[in-house]
Structures are given as structure tokens and as C-alpha cells.
Structure 1
Amino acid sequence: MPVMARNELRPVVKLRSTAGTGYTYVTRKNRRNDPDRLTLRKYDPVLGRHVEFREER
């Protein structure tokens, strides 16, 4: 039985806090809808507030 590769249309990406705390979220993204790097506002528990998180590969 052939083993199928993990779907590369939805790769796993790391979102790192721009506040410099080193906190990261791990998520998946759709390459067709978001070809460039993701930027999301999420909660940083180290700072205790919402900040921008940027995708790193």
C-alpha cells in the first residue's frame, strides 16, 4: 500500500510573537489563499495582552 505524503497545500507554520517574548503558536495555513507570510493578532501569555504574530518557516 503506497504511503501518501502530508498535504503540502496546508503546511504547518510557526507563528512567533513580534513582541520578542519568544512565544509561538503552531497552526496550518492554506497556501492557495495565503501565499505570503501570515500575520495574526493573538494573545501572548508572557506579556498578558494581544500582539502581532508573524509566520516563520
Structure 2
Amino acid sequence: MARSELRPLVKLRSTGGTGFTYVTRKNRRNDPDRLRLRKYDPVLRRHVEFREER
């Protein structure tokens, strides 16, 4: 079964400058803009903002 284009894979890159990324899926219908989430960066050992990268 093919994956839906409604929920594509996106990379979330740390704004802390470490280059750490998370990979997740997002719902395009609910979040048409780029995601911005505060998540844990293990390199900095603190929570920072992660932004969606295409």
C-alpha cells in the first residue's frame, strides 16, 4: 500500500546550529505551513526550536 501524499515525511532541523534533525510526518490539511516545534536537542542538552526543512 502506497503512502499518502496527505501525510509526507518532513525533516525538522535544530535552530541551535548543531545540525541535529528529527524525521516525522505531518498532516498537510491541518498544517499547510512549515512546522515549528520546540524539541530536545541532545547535542546542546536543552530544548530549542526545530523548523521544517524541505
Q: Distance in 2 between matches of 1:20 and 1:14?
A: 15
Q: Distance in 1 between matches of 2:14 and 2:34?
A: 14
TM-score for the superposition, normalised by structure 1 = 0.91
Residue in 2 that maps onto 1:33: 30
Q: Extract unaligned runs of 5+ from structure 2.
A: none
TM-score for the superposition, normalised by structure 2 = 0.96
Instruction: Give the secondary-structure state (helix, strand or coil) at the position aligned to 2:18.
Output: coil
Q: Extract unaligned runs of 5+ from structure 1.
A: none
Which runs of 4 or more aligned residues in structure 1 lie more than 4 Å from their structure 2 counterparts after TM superposition? Answer: none
Aligned Cα RMSD in Å? Answer: 0.8
Is 1:53 aligned to residue 35 of structure 2? no
1:4-47 Cα offsets, whole Å, 9 max, x none, are 54200000000000011000000000000000000000000000
Residue in 2 that maps onto 1:23: 20
Code of the residue aligned with 1:18 in structure 2: it is T
